[in-house]
Amino acid sequence: MFSESVRCLVVVGAQWGDEGKGKLVDVLAEQATIVARYQGGANAGHTVRVEDDEFILHLIPSGILYRKTRCLLGNGVVVDPWNLVDEMDSLRARGVDLDGRLGLSKRAHLVLPYHRALDQAHEVNRDAEKKIGTTGRGIGPAYRDKVARVGVRVGDLADMGRASDLVEAGCGAANPTLERLAAEPVDPEAVMMGLEEVRPTLLGLATDTGHEVRSGLAAGGRVLLEGAQGALLDIDHGTYPFVTSSTTTAGGAAAGVGIGPTLIDEVLGVVKAYTTRVGNGPLPTELDGDEAERLRQLGGEFGATTGRPRRPGWFDANVVRYAAGVNGLTSLAVTKLDVLDTFAEMRLATGYELDGEPVGPFPDSVDDLDRVTPVYAEHQGWQSDTTGCRSWDDLPSQARQYLRRLEAESTVPIRYVSIGAARAETIKISAGGVSALH
Ligand code: IMP
């Protein structure tokens, strides 16, 4: 992927998150000098397997597991300072050297205890059909404060008087709502005491991520911008209001790290060979009953952040075509193909119908998306173990056929097929995608 001409690559989720971006970023980070997150916060959960060790990262980019890579949290990320410090401690405890390898934008906003409390209290108090099913990590309220221009930024910790005024005002605004929602108010002094403890670590990491990325590229380095969540959870392009509060699509990468879009060379979309969603909102190809349970168990489909069971469904090419458009995808990575190994047959949605009519552009309304009927292509399964396959030719012919159809319907060339969590369990495909292969 990092061919000679590719200096800056964005990796995004092209479904509803949990596509396996962490693994792909880990594989690609070997060639990167910088890996940067540009949005989201500790709502993300990126699972990376290195030999027999499994790491679940929430804030720190997956590139941290290579010794040479510099990892950045861009201005577009919202950072829970205590989460970050815990994550750093647990990586260090497992022998990962972080010295000089981690940078945090001075412009990034902090997620503070009142954001978390508001997120959780709002969710509890929403009527069942209106619950978003957030991760409860304070993401929405933190972005709301950012946009309302009352947030606390990493750089504000350089002046604790200023930080204290902001925290005081933040608690002042949050507490009446918390009390109305029957939740505990947040004590600004306790927040400041907590911030005093983490302040030296945060200020020690503080940097200008845009400047670092621009200079890194100018010096001939390679940069990987790591998205969190997925296109269908994007605040503008996702299944609003059942979305997260940031721009998860590739357009957000430039703004969220501090570079211009002209510096981005390629956008890799990561998709599972089927679909999952965690949290509420429409999922047209959703399965239920035994088939759903089978896919959930075989795929280990439980949230990396909250442990919640994910909702499984068949691969939906409508979703991926749409994600290709809103992200400008130049290539695709298909993960978890091996999870389908034992299925005698599978389905792949190629279109939607609404009230008996074909649906044109991807619906903007969740009510319509709830009512669409997927049009399916049926596929015979390959019923053999693909985890040992290391090349396109090793894959069973039915699996190759499935991937060809998936590529044709998604309209984006496949460049990677993942058949297991380990780094080696990754098949690289040449530039033309699988349609150019036998
Ligand atoms: P929030 O980001 O915690 O506000 O949650 C909003 C929606 O995004 C909920 O449906 C969450 O389940 C979903 N979500 C947030 N982060 C992730 C993720 O990393 N993977 C999958 N879903 C996510």
* Token pair of 295 as six digits: 């896919």
Protein residue closest via CA to atom 15 of ligand 1 = 43
The pLDDT value given to residue 97: 93
Handedness of CA 259, 417, 282, 123 (dihedral sign): negative
C-alpha–C-alpha distance, residues 246 and 142, integer Å: 11
Burial class from Cβ neighbours inside 10 Å (0-12, 13-18, 19+) for residue 408 reads middle
Q: Can you give the pLDDT at residue 4?
A: 75
Backbone phi, psi, residue 420, to 5° = 165, 170
Residue type, 288: D
Which residues line the pocket of ligand 1, CB cutoff 6 A?
A: 17-18, 43-45, 132-135, 137, 139-140, 228-229, 233, 242, 244-245, 278-279
Sole residue written with tokens 């053999």? 384
- Best mutation site among 12, 37, 43, 276 for ligand 1 pocket (most ligand atoms within 8 Å of CB): 43
Contact call for residues 117 and 85 (beta carbons, < 8 A): no
Query: Which of 23, 134, 301 has most ligand 1 atoms within 8 Å of CB, for mutation?
Result: 134
Instruction: For residues 172 and 187, give the distance between their C-alpha atoms in angstroms, rounded to a whole number.
Output: 9
Shortest-distance Cα residue to atom 8 of ligand 1? 244
User: Residues 233-259, buried b or exposed e (16+ Cβ, 10 A)?
Assistant: bbbebbbeebbbbbbbbbbbbbbbbbb
Q: Which residues are catalytic?
A: 18, 46
Residue among 19, 37, 39, 229 to mutate when testing ligand 1 (max atoms within 8 A of CB): 229
Cα-to-centroid distance, 240 and ligand 1 (Å): 12
Residue 205: CB atoms within 10 Å: 20
With beta carbons less than 8 A apart as the criterion, state whether 248 and 230 touch.
Answer: yes
CB 10 within 8 A of CB 268: yes
- State phi, psi for 63 to the nearest 5 degrees: -65, -10
CA atoms within 13 A on the CB side of 406: 32
Q: How far apart are CA 399 and CA 386, in angstroms?
A: 9
- Spell out, as residue ranges, where the chain has pLDDT lower than 50: none
| Atom 21, ligand 1: residue with shortest CA distance | 17
The confidence score (pLDDT) of residue 213 equals 98
Q: Crossing angle for the helix pair 188-205 and 160-180, nearest 10 degrees?
A: 130
Q: Are 22 and 417 in contact (CB under 8 A)?
A: no
User: What per-residue confidence (pLDDT) applies to 105?
Assistant: 98
What pLDDT is attached to residue 12? 98
Distance 86 CA to ligand 1 centre (A): 21
Question: What's the pTM?
Answer: 0.96
Distance 228 CA to ligand 1 centre (A): 9
3-class SS letters over the chain: CCCCCCCEEEEEECCCCCCCHHHHHHHHHCCCCEEEECCECCCCCEEEEECCEEEEECCCCHHHHCCCCEEEECCCEEECHHHHHHHHHHHHHCCCCCCCCEEEECCCEECCHHHHHHHHHHHHHCCHHHCCCCCCCCHHHHHHHHHCCCCCEHHHHHCHHHHHHHHHHHHHHHHHHHHHCCCCCCCHHHHHHHHHHHHHHHHHHEECHHHHHHHHHHCCCCEEEECCCCHHHCCCCCCCCCCCCCCCCCHHHHHHHCCCHHHCCEEEEEEECCEEECCCCCCCCECCHHHHHHHHHHHCCECCCCCCECEEECEEHHHHHHHHHHHCCCEEEEECHHHHCCCCEEEEEEEEEECCEECCCCCCCHHHHHHCEEEEEEEECCCCCCCCCCCHHHCCHHHHHHHHHHHHHHCCCEEEEECCCCCCCEEECCCCCHHHCC
Residue 92 and residue 122 in contact, taking contact as beta carbons nearer than 8 Å: no
